[in-house]
Amino acid sequence: MSAFDCVIVGGGIVGAALADVLSAEGVSVALVEARSIGTGTTACGMGHLVAMDDNAAELALTAWSVALWRELADGLPRTVEYDACGTLWLAADDEEMAAVSAKVANYRAAGVRAEVLDSAALYEAEPALAPGLVGALRVPEDAVLYPPVAARTFALRAQARGARLMTGCQVRELRPGGVMLANGELLTARHVVLAAGVASPLLCPGLPISPRKGHLLITRRGAPVVHHQLVELGYLKSAHGTDGASVAFNAQPRVTGQLLLGSSRQPGDGTREVDAKLLERMLKRAALFLPGLDGLQALRVWTGLRPATPDGLPLLGPHPEKPWLWLACGHEGLGITTATGSARLVADQLLGRASVIDARPYSPARFLSASGHEVAHA
C-alpha cells in the first residue's frame, strides 16, 4: 500500500501547479522540494505569460496555458501581481513588419487575439520607445506575474487540500514505487513525477536537458513607464537561431513601478555568476530600444538557468522505459507560461483522460527510446 498516489519531485512552478491540479482531483500528493517552493529557476525568470508561435506545438501549449492562467487570475492573491499587460513584439524594419502579418494569422488560428500596430499606433501605446521602429504585433491577452509567489500559492492550495509539502528535502533516488530521500526515508507512491527543471538529469540520467543561462536586471521604482511587455521581433532570430551566446531586448513593467530588463542566452552554461561582457551586450541592446536607459538606477542583476531541450519543447508524459515515472521538465524559458498547461497535460495522462490539446508533441519518447537510451534527435 503506497503512502501517496503521486510524489512530485521538484517544487518549482511546474511541480507546484501539478500538485494544485492533482490535489483538486482528489489525488493524494506529496510535493518534495530540495530548497524552498518556487525559489530556483522559477524565481529567476521574468514571469512573462506569453503565447509563442515558433511551431505549432509550442503555440498550442502556450496559447492554452495563457488562457488557463487567465481563468485562474481572479482566484490568485494580489501578491502574485498578475497583470494582463499584453505583449508588444517590436518590428525594427520592414522585413520584421512583414513577418507580423503571418504571425497574426498564426495566433488567430490558435484562438489567440492579435493585432497589428503601425508605427503611429505603436508610439501612441509606448511613447518611451526609441524612434525609428516600424510597428508591432500586439498580443493583448498575454500577461506578467510574480512567479515565486504564484508557485507558493499553488503549493499552499494543494497543502490545504491535504497534499504533503516537504521543503528542504533532498531526493537521493527515484525508483519504482516511490522515491528515496537523502535522509534515508522512503516515500512510497504509485506514480513518481520528475519536475526538477535543470536538476532533472541528476535524478534521471540521460534526459536531454541542459542549462541555458540567462541574465536579468531590475531597476529601482519610478522607472520610465512602459505599458506592455516589450520584446523585439529580432528576439526570435537572436534567441533561438544560434548555438552561441545571444542577447535580445526584452523589457517588462512591474506593478511596483520597476522595469525588468532582459535577455541573454548562454547554451550549456550552468554557472551562476554574472557574465559582465554578456551583460554589457544585453544592456547595449536594450538601450537601442529604450533611450536614456543608462541613466536609470539598477537595483540588481542576476542569472537563472533555463532547462533547455534540443527542440525547445518540454518533456511531458511517461518515461518510455519506466512506466512508474512521469516527466514534467525541460521547459526552458517557458516554464512559467506553460506551468498551467503542463500540469493539466500530465494530470490528464496520469488519470487516463483525454486532454484539450494533443499531448504527443511533448512526449518524452521523442528523445528516449523504449530501451531507456537517448535517441538521436533529427
Partner 1 sequence: MREVCDLVVVGAGPGGLAAACRAAEAGLDVLVLDAQPEPGGQVWRGEARQGSNRLARRWLTRFSASGARFRPGARVIAAPEPGVLLVEEGPSSFAVRYGRAVLATGARERFLPFPGWTLPGVLGVSGLQVLVKDGLPIRGKRVVLAGTGPLLLAAAATIHSHGGEVLYIAEQASAASHWGFALQLWRQPAKLLQGALMSAKLVSVPTSTDAWVTAAEGERRLEAVRLSVRGREEHLHCDYLGAAYGLVPNLEVARLLSCETSAGAVVVDDRLETRVPKVHAVGELLGIGGVDQALVTGELAGLVAAEQPVPLELERSWHRVRTFAAQLARHDAPRAELLRLATPDTLLCRCEDVPMSALEGCQNLREARLYARLGMGACQGRTCGTAAQTLFGWTGEDVRPPCLPARIGSLRIPSDVSSTPTRES
Point out which residues bind partner 1 (CB under 8 A).
35-36, 38-39, 43, 79, 148-149, 152, 167-168, 217, 219-221, 238, 246-247, 274, 276-277, 279-281, 283-285, 287, 293-302
Encoded amino acid at 221, one letter: R
Query: Which of 252, 363 has the CB closer to partner 1?
Result: 252
**Kind and range of the H or E run holding 175:** strand 171-175
Question: d(Cα 211, Cα 125) in Å, to the nearest integer?
Answer: 36
Strands 178-181 and 186-194 come out as: antiparallel
CB of 165 to partner 1, least distance (A): 11
CB of 149 to partner 1, least distance (A): 6
CB of 284 to partner 1, least distance (A): 7
Query: Which of 73, 287 has the CB closer to partner 1?
Result: 287
**What are the angstrom distances between the C-alpha of 287 and each of 247, 250, 282, 290?**
12, 11, 9, 5
Q: Which residues pair with 139 in a beta bridge?
A: 87
Query: Which of 12, 317 has the CB closer to partner 1?
Result: 12
- Region of residue 236 (left: phi > 0; alpha: psi -120 to 50; beta: else): alpha
CB of 9 to partner 1, least distance (A): 19
Query: Which of 55, 79 has the CB closer to partner 1?
Result: 79
**Distance between start and end Cα atoms, the chain:** 42
CB of 111 to partner 1, least distance (A): 34
Query: Which of 72, 151 has the CB closer to partner 1?
Result: 151
Q: Report residue 267: phi and psi, to 5°.
A: -60, 135
Query: Which of 50, 150 has the CB closer to partner 1?
Result: 150
CB of 376 to partner 1, least distance (A): 31
Strands 29-32 and 4-9 come out as: parallel
